[in-house]
Amino acid sequence: MSLALAASACDSSPAAPASGNKDSGGRSSAAGTSAGGGESTEIDACTLLKPDEVTPIIGRNDGGRPTSGVGDSVCGWENPDTYHSVTVSVGGPGTAASGEIKDEPGVVSEPGPDGIRFLGGGIARFAAGDRDCQVQVVTGPGGDDRSTAVKLVGLLRDRI
């Protein structure tokens, strides 16, 4: 996986994968139910994209696996032949408390559509509710597939 995702200053929370259950469609409810019966704040990044949404971007892949990086839940899909990948990072509640992404000191980003901030290495940083999130699309050397990242952000925002 690319180290650019881990190196970006998105969220200071530890990168511990959250729990979630995959259904036969490759995606389940992103938020679970807590032991007390209320809505849980945990989101499993690996349940947010379906195989038919990732495969056209990177080709054959490992189906998404929890990985390290910045955020409460980080998942990466990688093509073992080309090393093309998609990585999703979901920050914890309150990491984008205003519902907007603000640049950290020393972080260089470019504005994109719908409040998206583009970092180097194909990373699109965005708010989903009150969570600071990222998606990274790597489809070649030095590739920066912003249009694909914007499409994925639209899908992810609806599911987070």
**118-143 pLDDT, tens per residue?**
998 889 999 999 999 999 999 987 66
Query: What's the pTM value of the predicted model, to 2 decimals?
Result: 0.75
The helix, strand and coil proportions of the chain, stated in percent and rounded to the nearest 5, come to 20, 25, 55
Question: What whole-number distance in Å separates Cα of residue 148 and Cα of residue 126?
Answer: 14
Say if residue 100's pLDDT is above 90: no
Q: What percent of the chain has pLDDT over 90?
A: 56
Instruction: Give the tokens for residue 8.
Output: 């970006």
Would you kindly state where each structural domain of the chain is located, as residue ranges? 4-159
Torsion angle in degrees (nearest 10) through CA of 33, 34, 36, 38: -50
Residues 6 or more apart in contact with residue 96 via CB below 8 angstroms: 127, 128, 129, 130, 131, 132, 133
Say if residue 37's pLDDT is above 90: no
pLDDT of 44: 96
